């Protein structure tokens, strides 16, 4: 029996490119690892790190572009309105495509527009 390991790529082999708005640094995020841990494993420090479990709100980011799955996020840190605008906790989301994010997003200035999908 011929076993071809390369044809059995697991989900953990899928990685997405995460870009930071207005920065040159990037990191890769495997599908099965949250964004915050993926950033830490690249030895970057662009997103605030705290509890790593959704309890402190330090890892707030805004997703400008890209898809993700998320675990439940406390309304203490992400309101419904903020979530609808792409605000999430990096320790609670999992990339499902290449993404563009803003750590600790500033108030959006008038005239600012969300980036469109390619
Ligand atoms: S690190 Fe505490 S909520 Fe994400």
Domains along the sequence of the chain with CATH: 14-103 (3.10.20.30)
Answer with the residue of higher pLDDT: 97 or 4.
Answer: 97
Q: Is the pLDDT of residue 73 over 90?
A: yes
**More confident: 27 or 1:** 27
pLDDT digits (tens, 9 = 90+) for 41-63: 999 899 999 999 999 999 999 99
Within the chain, where are the H helices? Answer: 35-41, 80-84
Helix (H, G, I), strand (E, B) or coil at 45: coil
Mean pLDDT for all residues in the chain: 85
What's the pLDDT band for 86 if we cut at 50, 70, 90? very high
For CA atoms 110, 105, 27, 78, the dihedral sign is negative
Nearest CA to ligand 1 atom 3: 54
The distance of Cα 74 from the centroid of its chain, to the nearest Å, equals 17
Distance 51 CA to ligand 1 centre (A): 5
Predicted confidence band of residue 115 (pLDDT cuts 50, 70, 90): low
Q: What pLDDT is stored for residue 77 in this prediction?
A: 92
**Total H helices, total E strands in the chain:** 2, 7
The predicted model scores a pTM of 0.80
Question: Could you tell which of 91, 94, 101, 104 is best to mutate to test the pocket of ligand 1, judged by most ligand atoms within 8 Å of the CB?
Answer: 91
């Amino acid at each position: 029996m011929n076993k071809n390991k390369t044809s059995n790529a697991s989900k953990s082999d899928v990685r997405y490119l995460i870009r930071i708005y207005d920065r040159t640094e990037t990191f890769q995020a495997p599908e099965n690892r949250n964004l915050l841990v993926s950033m830490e494993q690249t030895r970057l420090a662009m997103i605030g790190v705290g509890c790593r479990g959704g309890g402190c709100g330090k890892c707030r980011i805004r997703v400008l572009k890209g898809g993700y799955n998320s675990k439940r996020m406390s309304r203490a840190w992400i309101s419904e309105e903020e979530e609808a605008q792409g605000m999430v906790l990096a320790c609670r989301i999992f990339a499902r495509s290449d993404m563009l994010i803003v750590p600790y997003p500033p108030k959006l200035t008038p005239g600012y527009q969300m980036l469109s999908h390619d």
